[in-house]
Structure 1
Amino acid sequence: MKEDFLHYLWKFKKFDTLNLKTFNGEKITIVSVGQYLQLAGPDFFNAHITIDNQKWAGNVEIHSKSSDWYIHHHEEDKSYENVILHVVWEHDTEIFRSDNTEVPVLVLKNYVEKANVENYQSLMAPKSWIFCEKELKEVSEFTFKNWQERLFFERLERKSTVIFDLLEQTNQDWEAVLFCLLAKNFGLNTNGDIFFKAVQTIPFAIIRKESFEVENLEALIFGAAGLLDSEKEDNYFKDLKFRYFYLIHKYQMEKNCSESVQFFKHRPDNFPTIRLSQLANLYHSQQNLFSKISTVKSLKNIYEVFNISAARYWLNHYQFDKESPKKMKTLSKSFIDLIVINTIIPLQFAYAKSQGKEILEDLISLLNEVASEKNAVIDKFNSFGIHSKNAFESQAMLQLKNEYCNKSRCLECAIGMELLKK
């Protein structure tokens, strides 16, 4: 029997609490099950129980088998000295403290209804994608809505750790952090990490100084991404390359040795040349971008900020030396939506958190305006009848799949908990 199920049984008292006895026949009364820590050390902290009229306050440790105590080397850890009850599914050996007193044992399987075990086994039975795929539509709307908000908050918390790490690296420069996050976003899944690492080699103070001349910005960013390393006959390429070497000499920067950006399998509008030129033009056309991004609450206003295109040269090019039919290379609304989801929302959350402000409702309201993401995970939930109407819901479902379903954390999930009760 898995320990997470035993944690669930103990935490919510899903067993006969009126007739409990230790393995040695002593009567047990549970006053408080304790606090479920999910940290190193005993599973439940500061529990209160009575064993044969003797009151105890301390910790509770839970295992599938008693012998797991020694398998996990708890006898060597002083934090387990204060365990007042060892809750197990099967008792196969006695456990002693360092003073040779025996730790009382509760064999839980003797007090759990068969239906509870069968419900758990049914929920955790192998399925084609996730454990509860056939039961998902049985979950109440109230549970789903509240759990989605919690999932969204958890996702923002996880993303904010990256932002705070970047702040440390940039000497608390929010503008520099935004620049790095946008670069990663502009690179999408294929080139995102390469773009991110490339722009980190450019001190943002230089981006600020050179933002008034878009060709210099493009030269810096293209050069950092390794797009100017070859030799070409194209005059625009030669100009950017000249500017790049002039700028790294001017600012005494080291020439970056970037990984090769990927063109393969991209639609032309997502070629790294186009996306990096658009990024350069964004910082040319929008001064003090962070001050605008950190406070914007309307999707319409965001579309206005990101109403930019690639440089004029790219009107009839996707790559250097290769002309193509003339076409404006602007950012589509669907691409800006990805920026909202992956950069603007996490950044606003982290900034508000740093200021001690709570803006979760505002962020949910903004994402309610953004169309749901389209990917394999969301499509699969759709096939089970769980449809995401907007980006708030799709972000919550991605968190659910990645952090709960994939890790079999059903007993920490509100959906799994409700299904188990049924």
Structure 2
Amino acid sequence: MQEDFLHYLWKFKKYAFAKAKTTTGLPITLVAAGQHNELSGPDFFNASLHIGDQLWAGNVEIHLKSSDWYAHHHEKDPAYDNVILHVVWEHDVEIYRANNDAIPTLVLKDYVSPQALKNYKKLFANQSQKWINCDVDIKRVPAMIEENWLERLYFERLARKTDLIKPLLEMVNNDWEATFFILLLKGFGTKINASSFQSIGEKLPFSVIRKCAPEPFKLEALLLGMANLLPEDTIDSYPMQLQGEFEFILHKFALDSSGILPVQFFKLRPDNFPTIRLSQIAQLYHKHPNLFSKVMTAKSIEELYLLFDINASIYWDTHYSFGKEQKKRVKKLTKSFVDILLINAVLPLRFYYSQYLGKDEGELLLKMIQTIKPEKNSIIKKFEQIRAKTKNAQETQALLELKSQYCDVNKCLSCAIGNFLIADS
């Protein structure tokens, strides 16, 4: 038995509250369960209830045993002086306020259905043998409950990604375009080079990007140079020209190229080589110098796909790295790669930006993410073994949020799926 189960029972009234009485036999009539407090202090603030004929307003504290009140030294803490009801699973000692008045106690185990308790124990049993606590029973959850929960989880995930964007925005003095550029660079770096690409974006004033964007050669020279990818000793004319241009830009704008995290080629598919990705983002900002504005005002996912219809520069048609010629193939951004950018950079920033403007774009963002194909990874594959196939990226993003923020930390009692399985008879 965990204390959070008692919180769940009290918060969602999963007990026979109409029959509830204190340990002294006084009837309890619940008016409001109060506001759940997950910080220090009593567990529920501003509860309201009748005990006998007296109406009480104040806080509710919950413990497994009455004696936990003293074990936690609440009798010495003024924050607990306004507790009007002590809710426990087992009553083993009387509890008193600082003025020696007894605190009314409700013993929950006397009012909880045996089935709910059985369901709770089943959900948390044999955890070491299960991938997630509900891996056997999740398929029993009605589609409507699951769909509504996954929609909420998607927006929780967007909000968490917003927390990662905030420090970037502060670092660039609330320049949204600069923030977007850094996020895109990070996305173009993929998992292997995300940090190094982000360090390039953080090192470059976005004003310089704006000035170089009209000439893609200049912007490509700048990005490849900052990434330390331009060979100094080469007979290949293109990197020689890039090197010369980079040195000119470096001097002209008094840029500092030190401190950039090194890029990696190891374990990367050729299409993800940093040379290719940096050339593509240079072409992207050349084609759309007002990219941020276009992305923030796009009305459909199709508009966003058109914005990212980009190829690397012509040199890379026959190269993946400098000096090594390959069979000709245009290095175009694939739809699957653009999907990753939309999921991890574009839509989270748009969510944050709409909040900043005081706009509600929830329905539009939901429509956009539901148009994107579902992601493929080991977690989604495992979910699809125990429940229905995923239909779109909104669902896969929500399932990733569910796994990391609920399943992995046993927050089943805060999960709509867990709530249904405990209450289900």
Residue 148, structure 1, aligned to residue 157, structure 2:
no
Which residues of 2 match residues 222-301 of structure 1 at below 5 A?
222-228=224-230, 232=234, 234-301=236-303
Change (3 A) 1:268 1:116: same
Q: Secondary structure at the match of 1:294?
A: helix
Residues 1:69 and 1:251: Cα distance change in structure 2 (over 3 Å) = farther
User: Counterparts in 2 of 1:1-20, with a 5 A limit?
Assistant: 1-20=1-20
User: Retained in 1: the 8 A contact 2:232–2:243?
Assistant: no
| Structure 1 residue 335 displacement after superposition | 0.8
- Structure 1, 409-418 or 34-43: larger mean CA deviation: 34-43
Alpha-carbon distance between aligned partners in 1 of 2:232 and 2:381, rounded to the nearest angstrom: 42
Q: How does 1:92-131 map to 2 (within 5 A)?
A: 92-125=92-125, 126=127, 127-131=129-133
TM-score, reference length from structure 2: 0.92
Against the structure 1 CA distance between its residues 199 and 70, is the aligned structure 2 distance closer, same or farther, given a 3 Å change threshold? farther
1:75 deviation in Å? 4.5
Q: Deviations over 1:206-253 (max 9, x none)?
A: 100111222221222223333348755544333333333332222222
Gaps of 5+ in 1: none
Cα distance in 1 for partners of 2:55, 2:380 equals 52
Find the counterpart in structure 2 of residue 87 from structure 1: 87
- Aligned pairs for 1:70-219 (under 5 A) are 70-75=70-75, 77-125=77-125, 126=127, 127-219=129-221
State the match for 1:44 in structure 2.
44
Preserved CA contact (<8 Å) 1:226 1:257:
no
CA–CA separation in structure 2 for the residues paired with 1:312 and 1:38: 57
SS at match of 1:303: helix
Contact 1:65/1:89 (8 A) holds in 2: yes
2:48/2:56 contact within 8 Å kept: yes
What CA distance in whole angstroms lies between the structure 2 residues aligned with 1:249 and 1:331? 32
Q: Deviations over 1:349-408 (max 9, x none)?
A: 112111111111111112222111111111111111321111122122222112111121
**How far apart, CA to CA, are the structure 1 residues paired with 2:95 and 2:50?**
19
Deviates more, 1:101-110 or 1:66-75: 66-75
**Aligned twin of 2:28:** 28
Contact kept in structure 2, 1:60 and 1:87, CA below 8 Å = yes
Alignment partners' CA distance in 2, 1:401 and 1:26: 43
Report the 3-state secondary structure (helix = DSSP H, G, I; strand = E; otherwise coil) of the residue aligned with 2:320. Answer: strand
Query: Aligned match of 1:397 in 396, 399, 404?
Result: 399
TM-aligned CA distance change 1:215 to 1:76, over 3 Å: farther
Q: Structure 2: which amino acid aligns with 1:343?
A: A
- Contact kept, 8 Å, 1:223 with 1:229, in 2: the verdict is no
Contact 1:226 1:259 in 2 (8 A): no
**What is the correspondence of 1:347-358 to structure 2 with a 5 Å cutoff?**
347-358=349-360
Relative distance call for 1:27 and 1:269 in structure 2 (3 A) is: same
Distance 1:321 1:116, change over 3 A: same
Structure 1 residue identity aligned to 2:378: A
- Number of residue pairs matched by the alignment: 422
Distance (whole Å) between structure 2 residues aligned to residue 19 and residue 238 of structure 1: 85
The CA RMSD over aligned residues, in Å, is: 2.2
1:388 pairs with one of 390, 403, 414: 390
Report if the CA contact (8 A) 1:134-1:384 is conserved: yes
Mapping of residues 262-341 of structure 1, within 5 Å:
262-341=264-343
Instruction: For residue 86 of structure 2, give the secondary structure of its aligned residue in structure 1.
Output: strand
Cα pair 1:223 1:256 within 8 Å, conserved: no
Q: Partners of 2:181 and 2:71 in 1: how far apart?
A: 49
Aligned sequence identity (%):
50
Shift in Å at residue 316 of structure 1? 1.7
State the one-letter code of the partner of 1:283.
Y
Rounded Cα–Cα distance in structure 2 between residues aligned with 1:317 and 1:387: 39
Matched to 1:363, the amino acid is: L
Change in 2 beyond 3 A, CA 1:110/1:312: same
What amino acid does structure 2 have at the position aligned with 1:3?
A: E
Find the counterpart in structure 1 of residue 417 from structure 2. Answer: 415
Change (3 A) 1:258 1:95: farther
Match of 1:55 in 2: 55
* C-alpha spacing 1:27/1:303, structure 2 compared with 1 (3 Å): closer
